[in-house]
Structure 1
Amino acid sequence: MAQAQIGIIGGSGLYKMDALKDVEEVQIQTPFGAPSDALILGTLENTRVAFLARHGRNHTLLPSELPFRANIYAMKQLGVEYLISASAVGSLQAEAKPLDMVIPDQFIDRTKNRVSTFFGEGIVAHIAFGEPICKNLANILAEAIASLNLPEVSLHRGGTYVCMEGPAFSTKAESNLYRSWGATVIGMTNLPEAKLAREAEIAYATLALVTDYDCWHPEHDSVTVDMVIANLQRNAINAQKAIQETVRRLRQNPPTSEAHTALKYAILTNLTQAPTATKEKLALLLKKYL
C-alpha cells in the first residue's frame, strides 16, 4: 500500500486540497470498518500526504456518525506520523473572531455517544492525555500560519476546544457555561480524533477555523446561513495555505513527538496472554510491543 508520513483531515468546508499533485484515491478497509471516504494520496510541497474529508466529500455524515476509529486506523495503515486536523468551530470568546484561526492545546469532552479507544476485548490500555495536542507539531503549524500574514486572520495559540455531541448547537445556558469555564471554541469532532491518534502513536494538532460566534454572543441572531457558508469557504482557502506551509516545514524538519511512544507504558494487559483475535485486530498498533 502507498505510504504518506503526513495526514490531513478536512472538516466542514474543506473537502479537498487543491494544491495536491499526482493524486490517487485509496479505498481502505480497517478492522473498524471503512473510513468516512476514500483517502486521497497526493504530493504537496514534494511530500506525499494523505487527505481525508471527515464528513465525506459530499458532507453526508453527522458528527455522531463518523467512523473515528476507521479514520485514524486508516491513517496509521498509510504510515502517517503527523496528523493535521482542520475543523470548523464556533467562538466562545470575543477576541476569537470569525475567520480567525485557533490552535487549541486543551479539550473538554461533552460527547455522549462516541467510542474513543481502539482497546477493549481483552486488552486494556490507558494513554497519558494531560497534554492532548503534540506541542511540537502545533508550534510548526502556528509558525507556518504566522509567516503567511493572512489578511483578516488573527492567530490564537493555545486555548480550550469544547467537543459537544451535536448535531444541534448549544443552548445559551450551555454556551455561557463553557465561557465560564474559560473555553475558547466549540466543535463536534476533534476530541475523539485526538484520543485515537494518541493511541495510534500519531502526533496530532487541531487547526480550528472560526466560522461564527456561538449563541452566547448578543449579535448571534443576526448571523445567517449565507454568512456562515461564506466564512466556511474563506476559511477553507486559508486553511489550505496554512496546511501547505506546515507540510513544507514538516518535510524540512520533522519533529520528535511524545505521541510516537504513547503506548510504551500504557498497556496494562500482559500481551502474551491476551486474546489472539484482539492482538490480530490491533496488530498495527501493538507490533513493536509484542
Structure 2
Amino acid sequence: MRILSVDEKPLHEWWYLNAAPRGGSRPERLPLLSGWVDTLPNELDALIALSDLQGMAPHAAQDCAAALLGEVLADELAMMGEAGDLPPASRTGILLAGDLYSNDTADERGASGDVRSVWSAFTRNFRWVVGVAGNHDTFGRDQERERFFLESGRELLDGGVVTPDGLPVGGVSYIIGRPDKLNRREQSAQLERLESVLLEEPEVLVLHEGPDAPEKGLRGNPVIREAVEPWSKLVVICGHCHWDVPLVTLASGTQVLNVDAHAVILRRAGA
C-alpha cells in the first residue's frame, strides 16, 4: 500500500477543549483529512488513522455531556458513514497511534489515564481496530488489560504483526525514555522490538513516537528514522510530535503519515 496524496483542505472538523501550555484549557479544532492510496484489501473501503486525541468534547449521543475526544469521534465518524458522507464503518479499519486520554476538565497537559472507553467505542462501531499505546495511555490493571484485549475486533501491538483482512500491520507501543517512567523504554529495548517487527515485513507500521524528517524541519526521533529508512515500501503511522505537513516520504522511499491531533481517512484513488 502506498499513499498517493493527502488533501490539504479538511473534509470535516470538530471543536474540542485541550490543555493549554500555561494552564487552563483552550478550544481547538481537529481536522479530518482525506488521503488516497493505490490499493486496499477487497474487504476494506477505507482506513482511518488517528493519534493524540488528548481532549474533551460534547457528545451528542450523551445529551452533549463532555466525553473523551476519541469516544466522540468514534460515534460521529460512524454516523457519517451511515449518512453516506464516508465509507460505511463495517468496511473501515481503524489505526490508533496512542495518547487518547484527557482529564475531565481538559486542563492538565500530559495527563495519563485509562483509554479503554475510546478503544471500545471504535470497536463497537468499526470493522476492526489495531493500534499501540502512547506514553500516556493505560488500560486498567494487568488482568483487566489482558481480558480487554482478548475480545475480538481489537489488537494492541507491542512488537508484533497482525493481518486484519490480509493487510500486514506491525506495531510497537510506548516511547524511548527512562524506563522508570510510564510507558517508556530504554532505546536499545525499543529498537530491538522495532527491528523484530520490521523483519516480518509489514506494509503498515504503527508507532506512537515516530521518526523525524530533518530535511523538512519536522520533529521526531532520529534513531527511529534510521531504523525504518531501509524499508522503502513501508508506511509508518505515528504521532507524539505534531507536524503541520502530515505526509512525508523519506529519501529511501519510506512514507511517514503523522496523525498527531488530526485524523486521516485513506481510500483507494478513484473510488
TM-score normalised according to structure 2 size: 0.35
Structure with more of its chain in helix, by fraction: 1
Structure with more of its chain in strand, by fraction: 2
Q: Tell which structure's C-alpha radius of gyration is larger.
A: 1
More contact order relative to length (CA 8 Å, sep ≥ 6): 1
TM-score normalised according to structure 1 size: 0.33
